[in-house]
Structure 1
């Protein structure tokens, strides 16, 4: 039985996701299969790596299909600036391209980075970490927005204000 190859999305880093039956892989711009469709799910390539799901676990492959980070995570996001958000046992953290934890895998959620910081959520409270996994400020806010022009909007015990990149809180009057 010959399954039809279906191209999905657009080319990212010269490869496009393909589906063949219920499996996913990648094709190059010459319509040649670059990574065989053997995966349950895949993410588009970013920084020369793509997330893949195999046996209900996520890992990362390179453009030749070689496993670079073994499938062990419950969920993953694409690499951005050398870091990927990952979920393991319902906890979020960051890894680098060498599969090394950057900071701790303890958070309930990690948002995308904006101006060098990402919002973290732990026990229904929000804080911020930098790209080394170091906390700018521990999770204590009831609300937090991403940094924009050097400030993040936050709410602490009913008081809204701005947080600067050094962790100083400026209350609104």
Structure 2
């Protein structure tokens, strides 16, 4: 795993030990993957480098996607977009006005003004319909917009859930469910549907989250709770709550944050102003405008004195503290840093 660094407005890469494997010399870098890292040589000159900083795909493209997905990378020559493989070979011709990353072996391409279609890795267009907006595939479904309303298509590009939902507030499918919303007399009402479009939770809520291991967060005008699907068993009502992740969540009651597990049992109370969902066994919390890390019991894993903390991969965290910025590990060792 490699991590991007910045020094004197130039970008390079380090490894998990903080060793510079690519010195900062590029104008920009994409997300490092095993296939390589997209690198910007100038404003309109993009290529792909390997872990040593050597170009494995020359910087001959006007733009490139941020990362490889399903072995392909979106690329642009002049004003048209297509796809290249890890060797820089064109596998889908440069025919489109824009091209997204691949997800579940499907990508979206723009063919005209507010006209989007899906294609597979061979470049074959799926389905005959064109859509005003599209989302990436998740759990075998992709959101599409027709006449300003969102519905869903399957992997063949066929419309399986008719467009009727608010296009901005509706989510993506996860664990066979998606949260959907409708605007009714200026009030947004949300619920949960399955992959056939049938309602699992009625559109009676002010907010609904994504399903995590059969648990979904729902908000009503009186507070927030968790509901299990499909049993519809539910937790107590809380003043506020985060989404579940790593089988834990934060809930707020009586002006204090608590940690609960997936059985809705309280594991501990934490004295913080703001909290974020757990990821890789820890969570970023805030106290008096400073941030730090805590575990499932609320015990501090770091000092709470960072101006900013960002989860990367559970091994390293990106930080800003005063004029210093860089990466720390879970023992709060500074792996790499620079000063403004």
Partner of 1:108: 206
| Greater relative CO, 1 or 2 (CA 8 Å, sep 6+) | 1
Equivalent pair of 1:87/1:93 in contact (CA under 8 Å): yes
Cα 1:162–1:14 change in 2 (3 A) is closer
Secondary structure, aligned partner of 1:112: coil
Deviations 1:132-171 (A, max 9, x none): 2725225x32221233454322111223323343334466
C-alpha displacement of 1:7: 4.1
Distance 2:176 2:205 in 1: 19
Instruction: From 224, 228, 249, give the equivalent of 1:126.
Output: 224
Query: RMSD of the alignment, in Å?
Result: 2.5
C-alpha displacement of 1:97: 1.1
**Gapped runs of 5+ residues in structure 2?**
1-79, 81-94, 271-340
TM-score by length of 1: 0.83
Secondary structure, aligned partner of 2:235: strand
Alignment of 1:15-34 (within 5 A): 15-22=106-113, 23-34=115-126
Distance 1:128 1:100 in 2: 20
Judging by fraction of residues, say which structure has more strand: 1
**Gapped runs of 5+ residues in structure 1?**
none
Partner of 1:158: 255
Equivalent pair of 1:136/1:167 in contact (CA under 8 Å): no
Partner of 2:101: 10
Distance 1:145 1:171 in 2: 15
Equivalent pair of 2:177/2:211 in contact (CA under 8 Å): no
Deviations 1:107-135 (A, max 9, x none): 11112233432221111621111222725
Partner of 1:82: 176
Partner of 2:137: 45
Equivalent pair of 1:127/1:141 in contact (CA under 8 Å): yes
Equivalent pair of 2:214/2:230 in contact (CA under 8 Å): no
Partner of 1:99: 197
Distance 1:169 1:25 in 2: 47
Distance 2:179 2:231 in 1: 11
Equivalent pair of 1:93/1:104 in contact (CA under 8 Å): yes
Partner of 1:145: 242
C-alpha displacement of 1:88: 1.6
* Aligned length in residues: 170
Greater Cα shift, 93-102 or 36-45: 36-45
Equivalent pair of 2:180/2:193 in contact (CA under 8 Å): yes
Distance 2:105 2:266 in 1: 45
TM-score by length of 2: 0.45
Distance 1:66 1:130 in 2: 30
Equivalent pair of 1:35/1:63 in contact (CA under 8 Å): no
